[in-house]
Structure 1
């Protein structure tokens, strides 16, 4: 069983990179399940219904998100109408949409859980440790994958180590910068601090540099505008044994165009 986890898809450039890269990657690596964080898909914040469908057409099976999931107004409605778009499970319990789902691939029951960090996050959240423990009590899957959308490296590493051996893999998203620490933890859980971003390569984590200059140098408000260039693709392939469900291999992917 091979699972491809794709880092935050950012704007028009990110969508184009997915369109151009994904079919070849899927065939080359014989991928069984594709999961992508999509919270920056529409102009850098949120995901419209049209862009949701566009990514489905390109072959993405499950979509996770983060603090920008409801930046596009219509998402509040259509997230309850589609089976494969997640919002963070530990965000406001009154938010629409699922935070964890169960799917079946090649006879395996696979659970995907989406969590949000608590450090420097504007969205109100429940403690992810207690929320994930509740999900584990279900004991209903062969493989359990977690997208932890968080700001700091420490909180991602801490959550992964705490649940080492209890979940199959945990990857971080949100910072848009891929880390080089992919590894199998002592009790068998696959981990990487951050998948990185699939989107512009030459901007500042996706945005036009000029916008960030205004904010950083002068402290002036400036509307975030996505940078556009040839782009980059960032993600990780997790391979699991078909019999034991144990992690066999982690392969980090980074392509710059």
Structure 2
């Protein structure tokens, strides 16, 4: 089984790229399912509460184009229509967020004659209020079949620790949130595939898909309250994505990082 995972989609340009390319990517790589992190789809400026999150129209566009499940992270609850967005049955937010927050953190869907489960977790570097990610995962009653985990957090060491903790229980642990892709792919001793950061799907030329002036001013010591909001960067739009090739037991055979115009394989 092959599963395409698309990293943090940033702004409408990122949405447009996925909508335009996802079916061609499915066909080219033989992907049986597509999972995409969409928490930054609404990024356009100003900053929260209206500048991040996911709009229902964007969700429908992605699902209509060929995405099967949309994951998210700390910005899931931002935006003017977050409640409606998070109530969509194919949209996830981190499982270990407080129960009173909108949304769900796990979904199982039929794929190629099997049941694929997607789990979304985060750590406190992304969402201070979350409970421990491993405990939330371990408490799940997972059906038989591949399990794909979107781990949303800043700290690479935490992502590694979680991946080793669920080694053999999850088919893959794929890091999101930092937007800058890590090159190395790993096959852990019990067969779990791991990439610390998938990377963003959005515009280059700035900081995490946003124009750089806001972040440079913060680095110079300016008061955040005095700064104008950051809009989208104006560079070329890139695809951050990973293709998983799973064996019949749900273990990762290969992780291939792919782009719209280039790809390179990391066999594990």
TM-score by length of 1: 0.93
Deviations 1:212-244 (A, max 9, x none): 222222423231211133211011101112x33
2:193 match: 190
- Give the Cα separation in 2 of the matches to 1:110 and 1:211: 40
1:95 match: 101
SS in 1 for 2:194: strand
- Give the Cα separation in 2 of the matches to 1:108 and 1:205: 35
2:55 match: 48
CA RMSD between the two structures: 1.6
Structure 1 residue 247 displacement after superposition: 2.0
Structure 1 residue 205 displacement after superposition: 1.0
SS in 2 for 1:179: coil
Structure 1 residues 122 and 109, CA gap change in structure 2 (3 angstroms): closer
Q: Report the more deviating stretch, 82-91 or 213-222.
A: 213-222
Structure 1 residue 208 displacement after superposition: 0.4
TM-score by length of 2: 0.89
Q: Does 1:209 align with 2:212?
A: yes
1:105 match: 111
2:80 match: 73
**Alignment of structure 1 residues 66-215 onto 2, 5 Å:** 66-80=73-87, 82-119=88-125, 121-135=126-140, 138-215=141-218
Gaps spanning 5+ residues in structure 2: where? 45-51, 263-268
Q: Does 1:10 align with 2:6?
A: no
SS in 2 for 1:251: strand
Query: Does the CA contact (< 8 Å) of 2:77 and 2:102 recur in 1?
Result: no
Gaps spanning 5+ residues in structure 1: where? none
Q: Report the more deviating stretch, 146-155 or 244-253.
A: 244-253
- Give the Cα separation in 2 of the matches to 1:42 and 1:29: 28
